[in-house]
Amino acid sequence: MAKGNRKIVSLIIFVLLVASLIYLTVFSYNKRGKEEIRMITITGNNLLPEKSYLEFTQLNEQISYSDLTLHGIKNRFEKHPYIIRAEVKSDGRGSVEVFLKEKIIYAMVVGNSDPYFITADFQVIPIFPNTRFPDLPVISNVKFREKLNAMNFVKDEDIVQAFRIIDAAKTTDLEISRKLAEINLRNGGDVILTFSGINAPVIFGRGNEAKKMLYLNILWERMKEQKPFFENTEYLDLRFSNEIYVGKKDIIGL
């Protein structure tokens, strides 16, 4: 009996040791798998400062880092209307870096209420406080088929027309592109452009965007060289083939 008891005791001790080893292994694994996050930093943010992104994701205070996972952080950032994709990387010591890829903003568009951004793929997104505005033209008086709503995609004929003008300006001259201030689509009428470097409005019309922008670039250079001649200009009209009409007594043929 004594020998049998010793075997039972040995077996119990062995089982307890195995159970302890399993517990310690699982505990240690869970502890490693759930990293204690102490700091989150952001790179790739051009439209908003880091603080604004952290406030949107509710990660602006370290107390909110408890129970966080890297996947959870990624999901929070990708819910922001400015973000296409977020990549999250940990150094294994509590420091997490978030790499943001922001949407390409093409212009601001004015509807019946608040202005919105419109992206390169025609998505309308809200404009957040503290946004760093790049040099963007304003698209106004658009003939929309439906009411303008944030996060919708709009590819109405007027918007496509405005994008063609923006593309033509970018292709022709970077200075013209940067100074393009407004594209007034006049609810389907002849388009009128406003430039920050030209005091007169430009009646652009519709169609032949690249050709017209090239003519405007040539005239722009002349205006810089011959400022007195263009001082009393009231408007510029590009609706006629191979000519730019200057809104005063003179006609300049190209």
**Whether residue 180 has pLDDT greater than 80:** yes
pLDDT-based confidence at 163, cuts 50/70/90? very high
- Cβ-based neighbours of 228, under 8 Å, separated by 6 or more: none
What strand order describes the sheet that includes 243-246? 124-125, 115-119, 105-110, 138-140, 180-184, 192-195, 202-203, 236-237, 243-246, 251-253
Condensed to tens digits (0 to 9), the pLDDT of residues 96-126 reads 999 999 999 999 998 777 899 999 999 999 9
Name the nearest CA neighbour of 121 among 104, 138, 136: 104
Query: What pLDDT, on the 0 to 100 scale, is given for residue 6?
Result: 64
CB distance 183 to 139 below 8 Å: yes
Query: What pLDDT, on the 0 to 100 scale, is given for residue 31?
Result: 46
- Over range 175-196, report the average pLDDT: 93
Query: What pLDDT, on the 0 to 100 scale, is given for residue 30?
Result: 43
pLDDT-based confidence at 84, cuts 50/70/90? very high
Q: Residue with structure tokens 């010591």?
A: 93
**Whether residue 198 has pLDDT greater than 60:** yes
Query: What pLDDT, on the 0 to 100 scale, is given for residue 9?
Result: 60
pLDDT-based confidence at 61, cuts 50/70/90? confident
DSSP 123: B
Please give the domain boundaries of the chain with CATH numbers for all domains. Answer: 39-102 (3.10.20.310), 105-253 (3.40.50.11690)
28, amino acid identity: S
Name the nearest CA neighbour of 212 among 178, 182, 237, 188: 237
DSSP 128-166: PTT----S-PEEES---SS---TT-B---HHHHHHHHHH
CB distance 142 to 151 below 8 Å: no
- Over range 233-239, report the average pLDDT: 87
CB distance 183 to 163 below 8 Å: no
- Angle formed by the axes of helices 209-225 and 157-172, to 10°? 50
**Whether residue 18 has pLDDT greater than 60:** yes
